[in-house]
Amino acid sequence: MLGQDMWELYIDLLIRKEAPVKMRCQVLRNMLMYLMEEEARMIKADREVKKLQNKEDLKEMGDIQSGMASTIIQVYIKQILESFFHHHSQVRMIALGVITLILRQGLCILYRLYHI
């Protein structure tokens, strides 16, 4: 999601008013799925931390994964939030799902929000 081509495509589909609703929804669904997969990885890593004595190494690994998700979300947060104002309710609902996962995972978005 951070590659230049992917970034340009996603940003274009999220900001261009004449972008097809179906494509805009798919971009948001892709972000939703990514966040859901990251959440599952974090839960699994947390279980591993509880099983093993060497907690620091696994905790750092989880922090790195969380940092990557946070970085990706910071790139797209403005467009995700703008999707709340889209005229199509399906776009708004998927955007709500993405924001819900962002908040549930505690991803750091405040710095980016102040610079929109």
Per-residue model confidence as pLDDT tens digits over 71-103? 888 888 899 999 988 999 999 999 999 999 888
pLDDT at 58 over 70: no
Name which residue leads in pLDDT, 3 or 109: 3
What is the pLDDT at residue 89?
95
Contact between residue 46 and residue 105 where contact means Cβ atoms under 8 Å apart: no
φ and ψ of 52, to 5 deg: -105, 155
The span from the CA of 30 to the CA of 37, in Å, is 11
| pTM assigned to the model | 0.76
pLDDT value, residue 114: 47
> In the prediction, which pLDDT does 44 show?
86
| CA–CA dist 37, 34 (Å, integer) | 5
Q: Which residues contact 97 (CB under 8 A, 6 or more apart)?
A: 28, 32
Question: 87: Cβ–Cβ under 8 A, 6 or more apart, which residues?
Answer: none
Q: Please check the confidence at residue 109 and state whether its pLDDT lies above 80.
A: no
